[in-house]
Amino acid sequence: MIIGQSYKDVTKNMNQLAAIICAAGSSSRFGGKKKKPFIEVAGRAAFLHSVELFTERDDVKQVILVISGDDEEIVKIRWGANLSFFGVRLCLGGKARFESVANALALVREDIDLVAVHDAARCCVTSEIIDRVIRAAQSSQAAIPACPVVPTLKAASNGVITQTIDRQGLYEAQTPQVFDRTLLKQAYKNLSNLDISGTYISDDAQLVELLGHKVSIVETDSSNIKITLPTDVAIAEAILEMRAKAKPEGPIGPYSEAQW
């Protein structure tokens, strides 16, 4: 803090963030009776780990949880009171991921500077990763966390290798992806000018790239795992257990994580 500058002045100049947490997917690859955002990981639903991280931040002024209409009733019954207490707004998603984000983006307030879009199934993200991506986005208007590709990559056809792909310079994109609000809205508006038939839009950075804007990479590691298959749950739990916070001494307050 600059000498003579009050805390009120500092927070006034802080970027205002909105966090969109995407939990509207079909979880077709995961299988089972529960969708992956709602599967229990380290004692609670996967999506709640991320909700907690964003609601605890002073710079996050709006949190929007995007869910499928099929899940609206169970989410409201099981977690509605707590989500409401922490100011989390529910939004119904669309058939495709980009449609779900577009629905949430329409709810983002005009006073928001940056928008963070995060996968609900990526429950092992850390505050440190969020901080670094936000800082990068403040400079470049668009930034994502990404892990360098480590395995050897093979292209194949009909069960036969056709090419070994050079992994130099290749990254696995992660979330949260953070963008200037105006830029992200422009990227989604630009969708109407694109022929996306037969094109799979896998993340928001792709839309910003199609707009011609450069997206910065914040290098991370594979611990920011996204739960895709049932076997990923045990891996995510091991990662979270390794980072487990020390339990507070004495009585636990009514709004502790156990309340979730």
- Asked if residue 259 has pLDDT above 60, the reply is no
Q: Residue 195 — very low, low, confident or very high, per pLDDT cuts 50/70/90?
A: confident
Alpha carbon distances (Å) from 208 to 50, 102, 194, 198, 244:
24, 13, 12, 19, 35
Q: Which domains does the chain have, with CATH numbers?
A: 14-144+175-259 (3.90.550.10)
Look up the pTM and report it.
0.85
Q: Nearest to residue 173, comparing CAs of 143, 197, 199?
A: 143
Q: What percent of the chain has pLDDT over 90?
A: 72
CA distance 260 to 163: 48
Four-point Cα dihedral 214, 16, 59, 107, nearest 10: -90
Residue 220 phi/psi, 5-degree rounding, is -125, -165
Planar angle of CA 259, 174, 61, nearest 5 degrees: 50
Element (H, E) at 88: strand 88-92
DSSP 153-178: EEEEETTEEEEEEP-TT-EEE-S-EE
Cα distance between residue 134 and residue 141, in whole Å: 9
Residue 11 has pLDDT above 90, yes or no: no
CA angle 52, 206, 88 (to 5 degrees): 20
Cβ atoms of 92 and 66 within 8 Å: the answer is yes
91-130 as b/e, with b when 16 or more CB fall inside 10 Å?
A: bebeeebbebbbbbbeebeeebbbbbbbbbbbbbbeeebb
Rg of the chain on CA atoms, in Å: 19
Predicted local distance difference test score (pLDDT) of residue 12: 45
Classified as helix, coil or strand, 145 is strand
27-77 confidence digits (pLDDT tens): 556 656 678 889 999 988 999 999 999 999 999 999 999 999 999 999 999
12 compared with 232, residue with greater pLDDT: 232
pLDDT tier for residue 249 given thresholds of 50, 70 and 90: low
| Type of residue at 232 | D
158 phi-psi bin (left φ>0, alpha ψ -120 to 50, beta other): left
Q: Comparing C-alpha atoms, which of 260, 252, 231, 230 is closest to residue 49?
A: 260
pLDDT tens by residue, 101-120 = 999 999 999 999 999 999 99
Q: How far is CA 5 from CA 1, 16, 161, 194, in A?
A: 7, 19, 62, 47
pLDDT at 30: 64
What does the pLDDT look like over 149-185, one tens digit per residue? 999 999 999 999 999 999 999 999 999 999 999 999 9
| CB neighbour list of residue 139: distance below 8 Å, 6 or more residues apart | 216
pLDDT at position 245 is 61
